[in-house]
Amino acid sequence: MRILSLNAWGGKLHSPLIKYLADVDADVLCLQEIARSPTTRAEWLTYRDGDVELPQRANLFDEIAAALPGHDGFFCPTARGTLFDDDRLVASEFGLATFVRRSHSVIGQALGFVHGSFSAGGWGPHPRARNAHCIRLFDHDAGATITIAQMHGLREVGGKHDTPARRAQASALADLIRQVWPGSERLVVCGDFNVLPGSVTFEVLGELGLTDLVVSRGHTDTRTSHYAKDGRFADYLLVNGRVDIAGFDVVAQPEVSDHRALLLDIA
């Protein structure tokens, strides 16, 4: 089984992103920063927040789904706000997406907020609401079950250091996982956590028997050349001792986002 985790950056690098997601041949894709804007046919919209402007692929979820016809997609929005088509306001949703190859049976799942709650009337104040999605699969090739969870951790204006909100977020993620994971099978947890390697997040997840593969295997950078700031850690992938790792990579090339993809192969 191959599992991919990636912050898709709203599809800013659209063509290489779509090609990579199709070519990488992952069984499960855990994606963050995905937009869906069903009321428009525009390909590109603009996110505006003060002096920040970012291009967003208007219906990135649908485009990924079209590129992965053998997968089922689950879209998990955190908020419904507005993007801009020139000066015209367009309603859009933003959040997580999980894609699962149809040869695997989804036998359990849970979706919930790890910080805040769904905002139906705008993106909301910072730090904005965040959610997590946890699925349990039957892997017919292996004849066994596996639980996989992903999260996009909250962004604090003050940086990636631990805060009470981040500690609470980690506990909420662990509680969500426990709703699905029976405790006696393979467990994978991944995503853009927006924390530093020494975060309490890893202490909380360690209580589930999880170990992070990014730092423990010597990787020092999960960002690409499109990210110019300091602090090169954001994305993590953790496994428990029941996962038989055939390979793990923090993918440097191709660059399809300002985040690197995390790619796990399980024997």
| Mean pLDDT, residues 73-85 taken together | 98
Find out whether 36 and 62 touch, Cβ atoms under 8 Å: yes
Q: How confident is the model at residue 51 (pLDDT cuts 50, 70, 90)?
A: confident
Q: CA 7 to CA 31: how far, in whole Å?
A: 6
Distance, CA of 217 to chain centre: 21
How many Cβ atoms sit within 10 Å of the Cβ of residue 48?
Answer: 12
Percent of the chain with pLDDT over 70: 100
3-state DSSP helix/strand/coil % of the chain, to nearest 5:
20, 45, 35
The structure tokens 């996009």 sit at 152
Residue 11 has pLDDT above 90, yes or no: yes
Q: How confident is the model at residue 224 (pLDDT cuts 50, 70, 90)?
A: very high
Residue 43: φ, ψ to 5°: -80, -40
Domain at 174, CATH number: 3.60.10.10
Q: How many residues does the chain have?
A: 267
| Mean pLDDT, residues 218-243 taken together | 96
Q: CA 5 to CA 253: how far, in whole Å?
A: 15
Task: Name the domain count of the chain.
Answer: 1
Residue 179 has pLDDT above 90, yes or no: yes
**Dihedral (Cα; 200, 203, 204, 205), 10-degree rounding:** 120
Q: How confident is the model at residue 157 (pLDDT cuts 50, 70, 90)?
A: confident
Q: CA 253 to CA 168: how far, in whole Å?
A: 34
The residues near 91 (Cβ < 8 Å, ≥ 6 apart) are: 37, 39, 80, 81, 82
Boundaries of domain holding 107? 2-266
